[in-house]
Amino acid sequence: MSRLLATTALAAVIAAFPASAMAQEIGDAEAQNMREEIRALRARLEALESRLATGADQTGTPAQTGAAAVASTSPATQAEAPAASEKPAAKPATKIAWKGSPQFTEGDKQFKVKGRIQADANYVSAPSSLADRGLGFSNEMRRIRLGAQGKLGAGFGYKLELELSDNSVDLVDTYLSYSKGPWLITLGNQNSFQSLDELTGDTTGSVMERAAFTDAFNFERRLGLGAQYSRGPLLAQVGVFTDDIGALSNSSDGANGGDENNSISFDGRLVFAPKIGKTQLHFGGSAHWRKLNRLEDSTTRYRQRPFVHSTNTRLIGTPAMNLSDETHYGLELAAISGRWHGVGEVHAQRANRIGLPDVTFRGAYAEVGYFLTSGDSRGYKDGIFSSSAPAHPLGKDGIGSIQVNLRYDWLDLNSRDIRGGTQNGYIVGLIWSPIENLRFNVNYALLDYSGATALPSGDRDYNAQVIGTRFELDF
């Protein structure tokens, strides 16, 4: 190739001289011979250029010829060559983190598998004369949940969870989300914004079951649209919801569900959660209004189990009532300081009966908890209690975390002519978490009833004692 370039340069220089100048420097005969040699060299050069134009050089790039080949060696062209070989921007690397299960992150996209296992073994002791086979020993898989959550990019995310509970498979948190700055929008099946205890995850609660009023007043996930605004210690939540997915399915057609169920509710919750030194405070309030919009022969009941879920027995409860709408109010107060935490709530549910006076039912609880192990404290995030890993996990430098909780739980289902009974619960909970994502619970509850299911003697005031145990894995 270097000889070809030299020949090309020589031919160009010779061709630049006029024939008259050549004749003056040398004889006419010699000049004529040189012109013929130059023409022959040009012919050979053109033939070689033609052959090279159909192929590629050894680097796999099309060959340059003639003046272009010479030009390509210029300093300016050489300076531009690296730019021509620049590679496209590298794809973001996929990062894998362990969050109880693998979590994959690539740029602003994310995916994580979620799951939960809870198994209970319980015993309810009530007066022996109360012939109810739902009392005594019972056990169950309280929850088996599997799903995933992730981020799609551009602020969009999702969560999908299926749960086996009560011998049926239900959709739990199943929604699409969008976040931007302090805003979070959720669309799908989700918790309406009622009660700190209800919104706190069941694997981060202080006792095995939530406060009695949350179940009695039918708090549950519903299909709807929610919006949250969070900035500093302030959290505001609002939403509009229809009904739970099961009640909206076509298999529920009739007075209580399917396409004849046009129930709608509006929910709101406001939280102020300042941190003073190392103490986390929580002040909250919620309001809820629900229009049932069902056929007039549909009915609603408020009732409650004796603490544990493995029995279907309800010792207190209202009769079936025809309701047009419900109104609910609640107040929340909590604090976390080192190993200690305290929390309390009070709630009222007003039910508007069709053709009869309104009735109002109430519930509340107060609790104090303490970690026996050093370095451990109850977690708090986004307006609710959250999980916290043991400061000294088993197998490393400790035995995990051990927490003791004391709770008083009150439910009153008496109002006007409705005598559903009252329940005063005194609960002790012990939680051992040897490692993150795994917990073992032992609960004892003394339940003092007034106006409960009547004994054969007619007595409606008596006690029940409950021992509950649970293991739970959450990832």
The low-confidence residues of the chain, meaning pLDDT below 70, are 1-31, 49, 52-89, 252-258, 294-297
Residues 200, 178: Cα–Cα separation, whole Å: 21
pLDDT for the residue 315? 97
Residues 95, 102: Cα–Cα separation, whole Å: 10
Residues 238, 362: Cα–Cα separation, whole Å: 23
Determine contact, residues 284/383, Cβ cutoff 8 Å. Answer: yes
CA-based angle 88:91:97, to the nearest 5? 165
Structure tokens at 289: 């209004």
pLDDT for the residue 31? 64
Determine contact, residues 279/337, Cβ cutoff 8 Å. Answer: yes
pLDDT for the residue 36? 79
Strand-strand pairing, 462-474 and 109-125: antiparallel
Structure tokens at 13: 């220089």
Spatial neighbors of 57 by CB under 8 A, at least 6 apart, are 63
pLDDT for the residue 252? 65
Spatial neighbors of 264 by CB under 8 A, at least 6 apart, are 240, 241, 242, 290, 291, 293
pLDDT for the residue 47? 74
pLDDT for the residue 293? 82
pLDDT for the residue 87? 65
Per CATH, domain 104-474 is 3.10.129.10: no
Residues 369, 377: Cα–Cα separation, whole Å: 10
Residues 149, 295: Cα–Cα separation, whole Å: 37
Residues 411, 422: Cα–Cα separation, whole Å: 6
Q: Which residues of 222-261 are buried (b: 16+ CB within 10 A; e: fewer)?
A: bbbebbbebeeeebbbbbebbbbbebbeeebeeebbeeeb
Torsion of Cα atoms, 29 then 34 then 39 then 41, to 10° = 150
Residues 452, 448: Cα–Cα separation, whole Å: 10
**SS3 track for the chain:** CHHHHHHHHHHHHHHCCCHHHHHHHCCHHHHHHHHHHHHHHHHHHHHHHHHHHCCECCCCCECCCHHHHHHCCCHHHHHHHHHHCCCCCCCCCCEEEECCCEEEEECCEEEEEEEEEEEEEEEEECCCCCCCCCCEEEEEEEEEEEEEEEEEECCEEEEEEEEEECCEEEEEEEEEEEEECCEEEEEEEEECCCCHHHHCCCCCCCCCCCCHHHHHCCCCEEEEEEEEEEECCEEEEEEEECCCHHHHCHHHCECCEHHHCCCEEEEEEEEECCEECCEEEEEEEEEEEEECCCCCCCCECCEECCCCCCCCCCCEECCCECEEEEEEEEEEEEEEECCEEEEEEEEEEEEEECCCCCEEEEEEEEEEEEECCCCCCCEEECCEEECCCCCCCECCCECCEEEEEEEEEEEEEEECCEEEEEEEEEEEEEEEECCCCEEEEEEEEEEEEECCCCCCCCCCCEEEEEEEEEEEEEC
pLDDT for the residue 261? 83
Residue ranges per structural domain of the chain: 2-83, 104-474
